[in-house]
Structure 1
Amino acid sequence: MKLKYKASELFCFLSIMVPTSMFFSQNIPPDSSTISEKVIDDVLIIGKGVIDVAKERETPIAVSIIKKQEIRDKGGNQEFPAIMKNTPSIYVNDATGYGDAKMVTRGFDQSNTAVLVNGQPVNGMEDGTVYWTNWTGLIDIANTVQVQRGLGSSKLAVSSVGGTINIITKATEKKASSTARFVTGNDGFWRTTYEYNSGLQGKWGVSFATSTWRGDGYSRGTKGSGQNYFLSIGFQPNQKHNFNFIIFGAPQNHDHKYYTKISDYKRYGYKYNVNQGWFHGKELLLRSNYYHKSVANLNWDWKINERSTLSTVIYGSLGRGGGTGGFGSKYIETQNISTPQSANAIPGSRNQQNGTINWDAIFDYNLTHNTDGIGTGKDNYIMRSSVNDHQWYGLVSNFNHKFKKHFEFNVGIDGRAYTGTHFQQAMNFMGLSGVSDNISTNVNGMNTVTKNYNINPWSSLFRNVSKGQKLGFDYDETIQYIGAFGQFEYVNKFMSAFIQGVISEQYNSRKDRFNYTPTNQKSKTLNNTGYNIKGGANFKINKNHNIFANAGYYSRQPFQNNLFLNWKNDVNPLADNEEIIGLEIGYELHYRFLDVSINIYRTSWNNRVETISNESINQIENRSGIDELHQGIEVELLAKPLKKLNIKGHLSLGSWKYNGNAHSTTYDSNNLSNIISEQDILLDGVKTSNAPQFSYGVGLVCKAFKNFSFDADLNRYEKLYSDFDITRVAGNTKIDLIELPDYFTLDVGASYTIYLDNSSLRFRANVNNVLNDVFMTYSKTNLKSGDKGADNVKFKGIDTANQVYFGNGRTWNFGVTYNF
């Protein structure tokens, strides 16, 4: 029998069988490496006038595209940010538990990388953080992700210091369809999903999706479970107006993993979790998260005439939930019996054989150290949850006018109103019937709490906790923001250029019911003006080559958490607007068989202030004058040597470091006039931490046989530096970081589709970190052998006393999707 294969099919088949398969990835689907407005036009309406989509060879920014099929295929049981790890200058640490992934863009963390969902900002109003645990449903509903590095194309005043992640979800789709999907994976993971699209039925259309998931987590004590829901109702009364209402949410519970000493990992295994414990024979985690964030928006696109449109979205978000932890002056024993225990450590509270928490010992301790079942914060230890409720409302409206020739003008407003309520409540009294809080600064005197509350994300959505049942703290943070933006754009067949500006006012205040008497609970309202201006141009040298450049200046208002000190109404005198200057130039080459983009960037981030509270010792540290300079080169390419083969590569070479020295002042948190210590922090030239400054990846996507495709990703990470602990730095001593070992990951996947009458069945399998490599993704400390507190024992060249995260070992997932 003769076997007949095309050359491309034979090449792909061999690439699966031989070790060269290590050098390939699937970041850009075979059919396209770009995105157009058709992605938006395929739905009825999602407020497309407020979504700033970067256009191929026109928008002068660095951008990478991840499309719907790749999101579904690569998602599996990974965290949503993980689908972006095959793009330049993106680093994802997802080894901490479901929903806890951290993403860094060009060396800037998530609070300085803007995340937009359908054009709406989702970074936390208080500190800019993105909590991916609230957005687990994006795996099921995201249609496209644009990774816009640098200033990005958004007209809003957003935290795009490192870049902008522009996520466009599904909405009310024009075509009728249904999809059922089941995914399973390592460590008990599974997710079921159902999607339905009615299509446009006259003037109306409906789409909805729902899913349920659970998993034990790769590491011990990282279980998670939740649901996702999505509903979109579209109404198209005529050719001039489109309306769409969307509501979605992702209620969930998941357990946390924390960084831990290398020596503890070596003793208890790489899956060890210091937060894991057992209570009356059942697993109980010290740190767990529960949250239900529901988002709703109403979109209206109005085609005023052939040249003018008005797009408006009104949105609201209701978030309820929090995270668990301990409450009281007592402590759980450390996980190393040879280490001297704190005088307040509860005897036997740590099982030294496996490192887990012995909650039964704490239960027994509380029974013998209380008065009539009522314990105290000083003498006992209970489980509490810190609640972080919020309501967030906003409006974005954009007017667009196209002039007769080449010119286009946009003007609009962006308003946001946010209130976050923070307090603690009892979760498990650990043998007590209540606890009296006498270690706080509550001016209203002693407070005895006798009610405990579960950590169910659904019941927390409507829960009301009375004032007398709150612990630790109880305050509101209110932020109001109003901004106006404008953009002028010029486009012809040879070039495109734009200039845009934003001016905004932000008002911040606090109401503290715990530390102040009723007449003094409201803080003063702080008012800060921010603005930014940016522009760029793209020149098409010919049909195959183009160059672009952009530049911008941001004056960004301080985050709420830096404006007020130590969880009180005391105003930070050092907090002022941060200054960001971004410059970038790029070159792109486009041929039928090859696409290449090269860009060089320089971002300076100046006048930063960091506030760090340590409640356990009643101290607060104020770091001021922190400047950073991030510059580098990025390369991205897509080669199509054969019809059924795509080869992709990316490279990021960065120089991210502190520029100049900073100053540290430590105060007594109960008396800010009492300065405990002052010192300069010699940071000049010190590398920034949390992301590798040199990384690259190569890969392939191969349609080996009919309806079958294979893909692989190889990513290499180098020059990853530790964080540092200022308390271990002697005065006027330069910070000396440690460099973590280089590492690489290899991920492979395969898809097979069966086409039936008016339906299809798609099978997908992924194996991540195929070689089960052991690597460190982050170090909290920078201890070297010989330092105080060091073990003087090394693992991969790093002292084992350092507290690190290890990345996940080999993981897998398999899914079946039925489209009908």
Structure 2
Amino acid sequence: MKNLRLMAILAMLLPCVAMAQISVSGKITGSNQQALVGASIKIKNKGITVLSDNDGGYALNIAPGKYILSVSFLGYKTEEKSVDLSNNQTVNFTLIQQAFIADEVVVSATRASKNMATTFRDLKKAELEKNNVGQDLPYLLNQTPSVVVSSDAGAGVGYTGLRIRGSDATRINVTLNGIPLNDAESQGSFFINLPDLASSVDNIQIQRGVGTSTNGAGAFGASLNIQTTTRRDSAYAELNNTFGSYNTLKNTVNVGTGLINNKFSFDGRLSRIKSDGYVDRASSNLKSFFVSGAYYGKNDILRANVFSGTEKTYQAWNGISEEMLATNRRHNDFTYDNQTDNYQQDHYQLFYTRTLGSKFTANAALHYTYGRGYYEEFKEARKLAEYSIEPVIIGTDTISKSDLVRRLHLNNDFYGVTYSLTYTPKNNLNFVLGGAYNEYKGKHFDEVVWAQFANYNGSGSIRHRYDDNDAFKTDFNIFGRANYQLEKLNFFADLQYRRIYYSYFGINPNGDPAQQNATLDFFNPKAGVTYNINQTSNVYASVAVGNKEPNRRDFTDSDINSRPKHENLVNIEAGYRTQFGNLSFGANGFAMLYKNQLINTGKLNEVGGQTRQNVPDSYRLGLEFDGRWQINKTLSWAATATLSSNKIKVFEEYIYDEDENPAVPLIINTYSNTNIAFSPSIIASSEINYSFLPNAGIALLTKYVGEQNLDNTSASSRTLSSFFVNDIRLSYNTPVLGIKNVNVSLLVNNVFNTLYEANGGTYPYLFAGVLERTNYYYPQATTNFLLSLNLKF
């Protein structure tokens, strides 16, 4: 706790620290001497960026020294100049229009720009590469504001969890190049299906809250807008290899042709990741590839991406009990040899972008995803009737229960089109019209592949299908957004209409299994204003509305009369962003006001199925800080902090005794102003980087997550304790024997051997009339390492 207080005090003192400053200013124009408004002026390798104003002007204050200024503007070639600042200087830039357009226009329709009144963070390729040594993509986001990550296997490989502002993956919209990644039915994003995706990612924008209009599932906590490989002008080859604790192994090969004849490029990646996991038997065997080819014309881009991932993981889904946690943190309840999850997902994407004169840019994309797989599990003494199997009669004995092995299958197809049209009639005005139409077909079927009773019939195995149902979903949305710069004010308005049709195998009003359907229409307006105090500072405020449909289980476990309502969110954001000299930071407040948020209450529906229930009123209120200070040429510090209050105004908990009367709750507890589960009131991070040699550095990465409730009762006996974890990263770069760069890095996680759990759960039950509650947890790895060798040719 003392360390946390120190971090908080130092973070608050950041804006108060000042150094002797030199001013560098100038003007950014095109070759026709027209001012370029919103051009990005960056001091390379310092994390300092400003935008040009309405006259194309800019100004920076920075400590004396030698720097490289880099200026970029969409549609123009990036220009760099070296400056030696010993006194105030004027440095002007004249940018030359590119012979071809940049890949960034593919994702620009669903992204926030620097002056937009949206709370966001951009992660570039270089920042992602620093920690990309084998752990899943959520772990590369761990040092960004309001993020909490967890791992079922404990070491960051295999199934991992991501929460932003307390919202889980089902409430985080994820797009790959503007194409939805979230599963259409569960609405979660499973990065395990795309292992080592980060090695093919160029940049990520994280928008917290509702954010701008996007495609796919509603963003109730955040959205991740991921852009994969973009143009690299020179040919390259990279070999990346990692070995670490728990027999973790990562091998990646990246190759690319660079730009051929100034028109074509081809890129490819092949990866595999293996790990035994921190938890017993929680192994992972992951493989993936990524191939991309592009054509660059003067006015258009045509790009095709094909990528795929396969995974086989031994299950660690159940966590471990509170009692076992004290004696064997690595315990795994599962012991059946093939208690595994097996899945493959193939993605096909085709993009076409064209500039239509100087004012219009059009984007269109076709996509198709094919997923298939199953998970297998051993079940002990199960009722045969649950699997539509007749009792086995042997002599005078009737066998109605049996040990068995079952497989739960999912085969699905997801395909559609996304599009956008950008119109920029003036430098200070632009319009975006965009949207998507997608279809999903899901085939769910389950089978018993072995049962003990089958031996009585002289057979060692069976293939008995006991459940078979299909789902079909369409998702259409269209949005329009306008940005207008009026002197120091920037206004934006964003309107989206979304229509969903869902057909599924569920329950009719009579309680009988039957094909059912639902249609939902959503209107999601957003608006905001930014006031530019000067060229390096602004304040902003926005309000956005989001709506989100229930997930598959909400539909299938209810009939049309008991079906939960859709969720609604009003998101208010206000913040301040500034940059002066070697210091940049942002501070913002947020209010996320929910109507009919869906949560687990323990309530059963008419046929005894577990359902989530709508809570009329709940909210998240918080403050976030995100800052970076380049203390000197060799030392930098980045820090984030979130303070929040996350409450449900009235929560009712239902508890049943399934052996007595499973249709009637025996206990109903009512709680007022209670905490939302898995929503810590404090989240903080720190990253201190020190370059002790010109090509060698060390970093201390720190993460603090406050106490979290396992359910929505605020009970102190059902919590995840706060944790304070530190990692150390060592890196060394040098060219050797014609190799452009040899990078050796060592990531030591949890250096102080902290015992902590980042995820868990709880459930109540009645036994002989007595209320019992059971907690379970997902312990995270103690001190462990990942050593990598990366070669760039």
Separation in 2 of the partners of 1:649 and 1:620? 41
Shift of 1:30: 4.5
Q: Which amino acid aligns with 1:818?
A: L
Task: Pick closer, same or farther for the CA change 1:173–1:431 going to 2, 3 Å.
Answer: farther
Separation in 2 of the partners of 1:610 and 1:653? 23
Q: Deviations along 1:150-170, whole A, 9 cap, x unmatched? A: 122344464211111122211
Q: TM-score, normalised by structure 1?
A: 0.77
- Cα RMSD for the two superposed structures: 3.8
- The reply on whether 1:168 has 2:162 as its aligned counterpart is no
- Tell me if structure 1 keeps the 8 A contact 2:392–2:399: no
3-state DSSP of counterpart to 1:301: strand
Residue matched to 1:401: 423
- The reply on whether 1:694 has 2:694 as its aligned counterpart is no
Residue matched to 1:684: 672
- The reply on whether 1:656 has 2:646 as its aligned counterpart is yes
Shift of 1:736: 6.9
Task: Pick closer, same or farther for the CA change 1:107–1:200 going to 2, 3 Å.
Answer: same
Q: Which amino acid aligns with 2:783?
A: R
Residue matched to 1:576: 565
Aligned pairs (5 A) from 1:587-606: 587-606=576-595
Shift of 1:392: 0.4
Separation in 2 of the partners of 1:179 and 1:377? 60
Shift of 1:41: 9.1
- Tell me if structure 2 keeps the 8 A contact 1:136–1:250: yes
Residue matched to 2:409: 387
Aligned pairs (5 A) from 1:125-274: 125-156=184-215, 158-171=217-230, 173-202=232-261, 203-236=263-296, 238-257=297-316, 258-267=318-327, 269-274=328-333
Separation in 1 of the partners of 2:751 and 2:352? 47
Aligned pairs (5 A) from 1:448-463: 451=462
Q: Deviations along 1:290-318, whole A, 9 cap, x unmatched? A: 11011111000011111001101111100
Separation in 2 of the partners of 1:76 and 1:106? 26
Shift of 1:737: 6.1
Match among 457, 478, 485 for residue 479 of structure 2: 485
Q: Which amino acid aligns with 1:557?
A: E
Match among 768, 773, 793 for residue 749 of structure 2: 768
Match among 433, 439, 459 for residue 417 of structure 1: 439
Task: Pick closer, same or farther for the CA change 1:812–1:691 going to 2, 3 Å.
Answer: farther
- Tell me if structure 2 keeps the 8 A contact 1:776–1:804: yes
Separation in 2 of the partners of 1:31 and 1:223? 40
Match among 469, 476, 482 for residue 470 of structure 2: 476
Shift of 1:652: 0.6
Q: Deviations along 1:501-520, whole A, 9 cap, x unmatched? A: 111211111247xx99xxx9
Residue matched to 2:63: none
Shift of 1:573: 3.1
Shift of 1:74: 1.0
Shift of 1:429: 4.8
Task: Pick closer, same or farther for the CA change 1:714–1:665 going to 2, 3 Å.
Answer: closer
Shift of 1:175: 2.4
Segments of structure 2 that go 5 or more residues without pairing to the other structure are 1-5, 12-42, 51-71, 79-99, 385-390
- Tell me if structure 1 keeps the 8 A contact 2:101–2:299: no
Residue matched to 2:123: 66
Shift of 1:449: 11
- The reply on whether 1:96 has 2:118 as its aligned counterpart is no
Task: Pick closer, same or farther for the CA change 1:678–1:483 going to 2, 3 Å.
Answer: farther
- Tell me if structure 1 keeps the 8 A contact 2:152–2:319: no
3-state DSSP of counterpart to 2:515: coil
Separation in 2 of the partners of 1:492 and 1:705? 47
- Tell me if structure 1 keeps the 8 A contact 2:608–2:663: no
Shift of 1:39: 12
Residue matched to 1:759: 740
Residue matched to 2:622: 632
Task: Pick closer, same or farther for the CA change 1:404–1:803 going to 2, 3 Å.
Answer: closer
- Tell me if structure 2 keeps the 8 A contact 1:752–1:762: yes
- The reply on whether 1:110 has 2:169 as its aligned counterpart is yes
Match among 808, 811, 817 for residue 781 of structure 2: 808
Separation in 2 of the partners of 1:290 and 1:817? 30
Q: TM-score, normalised by structure 2?
A: 0.80
- The reply on whether 1:551 has 2:543 as its aligned counterpart is yes
Shift of 1:285: 5.0
Aligned pairs (5 A) from 1:9-20: none
Task: Pick closer, same or farther for the CA change 1:755–1:621 going to 2, 3 Å.
Answer: closer
Separation in 2 of the partners of 1:602 and 1:208? 43
| Higher relative contact order, structure no. (Cα contacts within 8 Å, ≥ 6 residues apart) | 1
- Tell me if structure 2 keeps the 8 A contact 1:609–1:626: no
Separation in 2 of the partners of 1:377 and 1:145? 56
3-state DSSP of counterpart to 1:58: coil
3-state DSSP of counterpart to 1:174: coil
Residue matched to 1:366: none
Shift of 1:738: 3.5
Separation in 1 of the partners of 2:124 and 2:556? 41
- Tell me if structure 2 keeps the 8 A contact 1:137–1:249: no
Shift of 1:525: 2.8
3-state DSSP of counterpart to 2:672: coil
Shift of 1:524: 3.7
Residue matched to 1:445: none
Q: Deviations along 1:625-661, whole A, 9 cap, x unmatched? A: 3532001000111111111211111111010111234
Separation in 2 of the partners of 1:224 and 1:702? 34
Residue matched to 2:94: none
Task: Pick closer, same or farther for the CA change 1:266–1:44 going to 2, 3 Å.
Answer: farther
Task: Pick closer, same or farther for the CA change 1:493–1:314 going to 2, 3 Å.
Answer: farther
Separation in 2 of the partners of 1:618 and 1:55? 45
Task: Pick closer, same or farther for the CA change 1:579–1:389 going to 2, 3 Å.
Answer: same
Residue matched to 1:538: 530
3-state DSSP of counterpart to 2:170: helix
- Tell me if structure 2 keeps the 8 A contact 1:181–1:815: yes
- Tell me if structure 2 keeps the 8 A contact 1:146–1:165: yes
Q: Which amino acid aligns with 1:541?
A: I
**By percentage of residues, which structure has more strand?**
2
Q: Which amino acid aligns with 1:576?
A: K
3-state DSSP of counterpart to 1:660: strand
Separation in 2 of the partners of 1:490 and 1:640? 33
3-state DSSP of counterpart to 2:326: helix
Q: Which amino acid aligns with 2:128?
A: I
- The reply on whether 1:78 has 2:138 as its aligned counterpart is no
Residue matched to 1:336: none
Shift of 1:200: 1.9
- Tell me if structure 1 keeps the 8 A contact 2:554–2:611: no
Separation in 2 of the partners of 1:247 and 1:40? 29
Q: Deviations along 1:455-478, whole A, 9 cap, x unmatched? A: xxxxxxxxxxxxxx423x211111
Separation in 2 of the partners of 1:434 and 1:209? 51
- The reply on whether 1:525 has 2:517 as its aligned counterpart is yes
Match among 375, 378, 396 for residue 323 of structure 1: 375
Separation in 2 of the partners of 1:408 and 1:99? 43
Shift of 1:740: 3.4
Q: Deviations along 1:92-122, whole A, 9 cap, x unmatched? A: 1124363321111111111111112112221
- Tell me if structure 2 keeps the 8 A contact 1:329–1:377: no
Residue matched to 1:294: 346
